[in-house]
Homo-oligomer: A and B are copies of this chain.
């Protein structure tokens, strides 16, 4: 197909356009009024704290990246090493840009609310989020697109792509886990301090932890989430390409009439489809902006449901033009719809009936609140997993293993929109915090509260989506890993590795793999606990040693808290990070490829369900607490015994939903990507 090379420029073209739009949004937001002096000062603290975290994190990551660069370079060639650096660098860049945008947009959202326009406030938060959303998808596509154009005929194309994904993954791992520890340590620390120190509510401006809490929203939900979604998108594309590259002719499904073009099309298609997904996302972002006068909930939910539909239509047209099997469109649609369904199920479990029941259970004690919340989290694993199973079933039916990977690409087609809506959440949350700390009136707070409430819902949907897409991506990577192993062995004239479940090596791998998600869950929970404890101690110290702080005559030393949270997050992210990166390497090189496949299968089964359980239980507890605060349980308002019971659940839920749950989802992605990268090195053992 002669026009194929032109078509394959489109991902980069769309990426560049998206970057341009992101720049436009960035400067538009920046040019808005950022409020009075108090607002400016507080927003300055938050921005400074967020950027200080990124800067220090980047230094740690630079050391890690250089070390891995050398290891990859020595073992798989310097092109692969460079590609690893590129994948990592683009993730950091997206995070940096997105964070700057978010920490500018927060105070300007407050200011828009202050000048009385909900629509303008919504637009500001949305544009701020869109910078992150567009950058994430654009930089991923530009990176992979350029690599494709330059190296598509290079014999070493596989390690080049795989190491790009490993670069993306590594950053995601540390950004997500470090960010998750930071945000929850600050949150839980401020909560506890508010309780153990008389008369200091959680959001009180005298509480020195309150800035760190707002920084944490950005660090965790903007930078961390962005790196996570970026990684999923990159990994899904790379997995599909890897399957196409390592498959022999019989293993690639029949995509086009001309059989000689089949492999070429199969390799490029995931990238092309993701490019179309970005184009569709841009359109959807503008639709959402145009609807800003409407109810925020409608706008944001609509912008999550729209992309799958438009993407399916666009794919239908393009596949028709290219003469490609429309099974591709069907699978893209199934994947995209599957992702939306998983998001909506998460929404159900963290907002509707289950939440009311948790709130009700709080009336008989903290214990019953917890039992109910844990049970809700456990139950919530079922439908998302069944949806993934169903997507796998259909995708495989039409296009085999390649189809499974393509369904992941489809699920992640709307990445830019999902991330936009997701970054909107912490921006409007911050906007509320700034209006509270600046002592703005009730009307302002009402607007930011409304925006924030919607943000909580979209954050829950986004979290479910992130985990759901992680699961299907891991399945795709898993298939790619197994194919790559046997591809390498065949090329070396060796027999294929038996990956039968009856192989004791596989069983051993499954047993060991099933532990790892629990270990990451345990270490991240304890990390949050330790860091929160250190923050409580520092807050206590400040109230004891800073004269006049309690009487509002002196300012708290918020930087000290930011510093503790930063140091703790950076220190505590190491152990779970090492578990994720080292375990496939150790098992692969000592027990071989079959045991490593088992390791991935075991960690997938446990990691997928455990992260859904933790994320959803946490979200449900959070909203059960808010449900009571809104007065939905007659006779039990904020501050009552029953509310305090619900606060206990929320405190447990904090690390569940924002640290451990997402951390486990990323663990299984990193393990799969690293395995894919080292596959050629261990295939012949």
Query: A residues near B, CB below 8 A?
Result: 188, 192, 195-196, 361, 364-368, 370-372, 374-376, 378-379, 381-382, 385-386, 388-389, 392-393, 396, 400-401, 404, 471, 475, 478-479, 482-483, 498-502, 504, 506-508, 510-515, 517-519, 521-523, 525-526, 528-529, 533, 536, 597-598, 601-602, 604-606, 608-610, 613, 647-648, 651-652, 655
Task: Note all chain B residues with C-beta closer than 8 A to A501.
Answer: 478, 482, 499-501, 506, 597-598, 601
Task: Note all chain B residues with C-beta closer than 8 A to A529.
Answer: 361, 368, 371-372, 375
Question: Which residue, of A374, A379, A604, A655, has the highest number of chain B Cβ atoms within 10 A?
Answer: A374
Residue of B nearest to A521 (CB): B378
The distance from the CB of A356 to the nearest CB of chain B, in whole angstroms, is: 15
Question: Which residue, of A361, A365, A512, A610, has the highest number of chain B Cβ atoms within 10 A?
Answer: A365
In the complex, the answer to whether A388 meets B511 with C-beta atoms within 8 Å is yes
Task: Note all chain B residues with C-beta closer than 8 A to A188.
Answer: 367
In the complex, the answer to whether B601 meets A510 with C-beta atoms within 8 Å is yes
Cross-chain contact of A371 among B382, B471, B655 (Cβ < 8 A)? B655
The distance from the CB of A369 to the nearest CB of chain B, in whole angstroms, is: 9
In the complex, the answer to whether B609 meets A518 with C-beta atoms within 8 Å is yes
Task: Note all chain B residues with C-beta closer than 8 A to A379.
Answer: 518-519, 522
Instruction: With A364-B533, A598-B501, A605-B602 as known contacts, state yes or no: A374 contacts B652, CB within 8 Å.
Output: yes
In the complex, the answer to whether B504 meets A192 with C-beta atoms within 8 Å is no
Instruction: With A370-B652, A526-B375, A597-B501 as known contacts, state yes or no: A515 contacts B365, CB within 8 Å.
Output: no
Task: Note all chain B residues with C-beta closer than 8 A to A605.
Answer: 510-511, 513-514, 601-602, 605-606
**A536 vs B364: C-alpha distance in the bound complex, in angstroms?**
10
**A58 vs B343: C-alpha distance in the bound complex, in angstroms?**
44
Give chain A's interface secondary structure class: helix
In the complex, the answer to whether B518 meets A381 with C-beta atoms within 8 Å is yes
**A655 vs B372: C-alpha distance in the bound complex, in angstroms?**
11
Task: Note all chain B residues with C-beta closer than 8 A to A513.
Answer: 605
In the complex, the answer to whether A609 meets B525 with C-beta atoms within 8 Å is no
**A476 vs B368: C-alpha distance in the bound complex, in angstroms?**
38
Cross-chain contact of A367 among B523, B604, B608, B652 (Cβ < 8 A)? B652
The distance from the CB of A338 to the nearest CB of chain B, in whole angstroms, is: 12
Question: Which residue, of A366, A506, A513, has the highest number of chain B Cβ atoms within 10 A?
Answer: A366
The distance from the CB of A389 to the nearest CB of chain B, in whole angstroms, is: 4
**A355 vs B510: C-alpha distance in the bound complex, in angstroms?**
29
Instruction: With A372-B529, A374-B652, A536-B364 as known contacts, state yes or no: A381 contacts B515, CB within 8 Å.
Output: yes
In the complex, the answer to whether A392 meets B506 with C-beta atoms within 8 Å is no
In the complex, the answer to whether A482 meets B510 with C-beta atoms within 8 Å is no
The distance from the CB of A587 to the nearest CB of chain B, in whole angstroms, is: 11
Residue of B nearest to A372 (CB): B529
In the complex, the answer to whether B511 meets A608 with C-beta atoms within 8 Å is yes
The distance from the CB of A186 to the nearest CB of chain B, in whole angstroms, is: 15
Task: Note all chain B residues with C-beta closer than 8 A to A386.
Answer: 511-512, 515
Task: Note all chain B residues with C-beta closer than 8 A to A518.
Answer: 378-379, 381-382, 609, 613
**A159 vs B515: C-alpha distance in the bound complex, in angstroms?**
35
Residue of B nearest to A603 (CB): B605
In the complex, the answer to whether A504 meets B367 with C-beta atoms within 8 Å is no
A-B contact pairs, 23 of them (CB 8 A): A188-B367, A365-B648, A368-B651, A370-B652, A371-B651, A371-B652, A372-B526, A372-B529, A375-B521, A375-B529, A376-B522, A382-B519, A386-B515, A388-B511, A392-B508, A396-B504, A482-B502, A498-B500, A500-B501, A510-B605, A511-B605, A605-B605, A606-B610
In the complex, the answer to whether A365 meets B502 with C-beta atoms within 8 Å is no
